[in-house]
A and B are shown apart, each in its own frame.
Chain A
Amino acid sequence: KNEVEQSPQNLTAQEGEFITINCSYSVGISALHWLQQHPGGGIVSLFMLSSGKKKHGRLIATINIQEKHSSLHITASHPRDSAVYICAVRSGGAQKLVFGQGTRLTINP
């Protein structure tokens, strides 16, 4: 079993829909990252959080430390949100990240 599990693996939705991507992890963490990788291949860090909730534009990330679970939400989804979203966790004092397998999101116009 992977230390970081994402669901769903693939998600297709219509423009405007509310999107939720889930991430569960099995280790104690010091921080959780959400990354976005566009079809061109570049990777962008969206959020780094260790508790509660963060919001940036139409993106919201939440984390529940007790349940070892995080969600990434996209409101009013748009075709340009189509990308692979990757959850990654950092354990203890180490800097290294352990990655989930990614969720491929496709938003159709």
Chain B
Amino acid sequence: DAGVIQSPRHEVTEMGQEVTLRCKPISGHNSLFWYRQTMMRGLELLIYFNNNVPIDDSGMPEDRFSAKMPNASFSTLKIQPSEPRDSAVYFCASITPGGRQYFGPGTRLTVT
């Protein structure tokens, strides 16, 4: 098993541009989480899906952020328009039915 796959691994973009982060969870895991990590705030939950349905998006900072999970093997996190304060590492985690979390390698986003 390749584990959780995220792409791109690094993204540098200019303020105002649209950014799309992608995640492929581990097959058979029924929950998927999107996290953001910054030096100031540490790890924060943005949104999570259970069986492809968004359950809790209270961590999504504002309407510029949106996430989708069209099927069990793919999810996207989109930021439109991006701002410099969105610079962070974004992690996707795939969760077993028992609750154990497997993290992807993360996408380091820099918005200039």
CB within 8 Å of B: which residues of A? 31, 33, 35, 41-45, 48, 86, 88, 90, 94-97, 99-102
Contacts and interface: CB of A to CB of B under 8 A. Distances in A.
Contact of B45 (A43, A44, A96): A96
Q: How large is the interface on B (under 10, 10 to 19, 20 to 34, 35 or more residues)?
A: 20 to 34
Contacts, number: 48
A33 B93 CA distance: 14
A94 B100 CA distance: 13
B105 A41 contact: yes
Contacts of A41: 89, 105-106, 108
**Secondary structure dominating the interface of B:** strand
Contacts of A100: 42
B95 A95 contact: yes
B42 A101 contact: yes
Contact of A102 (B42, B48, B55, B56): B42
Interface in B76-108: 89, 91, 93, 95, 98-103, 105-106, 108
B43 interface: yes
Contacts of B100: 45, 48
A99 to B, nearest CB: 4
Interface in B39-85: 42-45, 48, 50, 55-56
Nearest to B55: A95
A42 B99 contact: no
B103 A42 contact: yes
A31 B6 CA distance: 26
Contact of B103 (A43, A94, A96): A43
Nearest to B47: A96
Interface-central residue, A86, A88, A95, A96, by most chain B CB under 10 Å: A95
